[in-house]
Amino acid sequence: MKVIVAPNYEEMSKIAAKEIAKLLYVKPNAVLGLATGSTPEGVYRELIELNKAERVDFSKATSFNLDEYKGLKGDHPQSYRYFMNSKLFNHVNIDKNKTHVPSGVAENIEKECKEYDESIEKAGGIDLQLLGIGTNGHIGFNEPSDFLNLNTHETDLTEDTIKANSRFFDSIDEVPTRAITMGLGSIMKADKIILLASGEKKADIIAKLVEDKISTRVPASMLQVHQNVLVIVDNAAASLLKNSSNNEIEYVK
Ligand code: PGA
């Protein structure tokens, strides 16, 4: 795992956006794996600016999002389809037909999950997967558990996650308790993975991700066996990393 420590959230976001822009420059029809949450919002803002300045072109790109709440339609303001449209897709020259978010209201969820993985395969697989990380170590909605799923699947959300995400809803009772998420296998098949984390509250999980043993209780720790993972964090999220780490850590000024 390579770790880049940026001085702040803005710089972290710029570094990640540049990686995406670089990929689209060398491979205009790249397949992007995208994430929701507060963390990647800065990356999307930066990509919108780069797109306006004609420094990144999404016209041939395809995207697949990690997850969606069960029961929320794409026009629900807290759905992840709505998030992606409003934070990125509506503002760049991407073909919306080539943007994919699992449907939270599919009649047959099992079929929806199977077809989601098949569509990723058909598109040629994900070139670059962007990830956030939950304070409990989840990636997508792959929550800490004794067992992890390989493929896209329906899952329960943990209390931690429901609580963390309740900040976007009027009350905690409105937070969906189930979701559809890409599995660890779907994520690990990506050619390159960029995981982002910002702020002191992510410091503990970042130290676990980078320095602890692999455990299904920290789903993100599985990334340690992937060949091409770039962890980009700000100073606060890096604050519990020890220098004794075996990983390559680069501090950016
Ligand atoms: P956050 O969420 O970016 O809003 O912190 C990350 C996650 O839960 O994966």
* Range list of H helices, 27-108: 41-52, 80-87
Quote the percentage of the chain above a pLDDT of 90: 96
Tokens representing 246 are: 């075996």
Given a cut of 70, whether residue 245 has pLDDT beyond it is no
Angle value at C-alpha 200, between 196 and 205, nearest 5 degrees: 60
Tens digits of per-residue pLDDT, 25-39?
999 999 999 999 999
Tens digits of per-residue pLDDT, 114-123?
999 999 999 9
Tens digits of per-residue pLDDT, 83-94?
999 999 999 999
Q: 134 CB less than 6 Å from ligand 1?
A: yes
Given a cut of 80, whether residue 247 has pLDDT beyond it is no
* Residue 205 alpha carbon to ligand 1 centre in Å: 12
CA–CA separation, 123 vs 83, rounded Å? 23
Active site residue 138: yes
Across 145-176, b (16+ Cβ under 10 Å) vs e yields eeeebeebbbbebbeebbebbeeeeeeeeebb
CA–CA separation, 44 vs 41, rounded Å? 5
User: Could you tell me which residue, 247 or 180, shows the higher pLDDT?
Assistant: 180
CA–CA separation, 165 vs 143, rounded Å? 14
Tokens representing 47 are: 């990509």
Confidence label for 103 from pLDDT (cuts 50, 70 and 90):
very high
How many CB atoms neighbour CB 7 within 10 A? 12
Q: What is the pLDDT of residue 42?
A: 98
Given a cut of 90, whether residue 21 has pLDDT beyond it is yes
Given a cut of 70, whether residue 239 has pLDDT beyond it is yes
Q: 131 CB less than 6 Å from ligand 1?
A: no
| Candidate CATH numbers 3.40.190.10, 3.40.50.1360, 3.40.50.300, 3.40.366.10; the one for domain 9-200 | 3.40.50.1360
Active site residue 107: no
* Backbone angles phi and psi of 111, in degrees to 5: -65, -45
Active site residue 29: no
Confidence label for 243 from pLDDT (cuts 50, 70 and 90):
low
Tens digits of per-residue pLDDT, 139-189?
999 999 999 999 999 999 999 999 999 999 999 999 999 999 999 999 999
Q: What is the pLDDT of residue 89?
A: 98
pTM: 0.97
Q: What is the mean pLDDT of the chain?
A: 96
CA–CA separation, 108 vs 218, rounded Å? 30
Q: Is the separation of the CB atoms in 8 and 239 below 8 Å?
A: no
Over residues 211-238, the mean pLDDT reads 97
Q: Is the separation of the CB atoms in 231 and 210 below 8 Å?
A: yes
Q: What is the pLDDT of residue 102?
A: 98
Tokens representing 208 are: 């676990």
Pocket test for ligand 1, best of 9, 12, 38, 78 (most atoms within 8 A of CB): 38
Q: 38 CB less than 6 Å from ligand 1?
A: yes
Active site residue 143: yes
Among the listed residues 10, 136, 204, 212, the single catalytic one is: 136
Q: 133 CB less than 6 Å from ligand 1?
A: yes
* Residue 246 alpha carbon to ligand 1 centre in Å: 26
Q: Is the separation of the CB atoms in 111 and 104 below 8 Å?
A: no
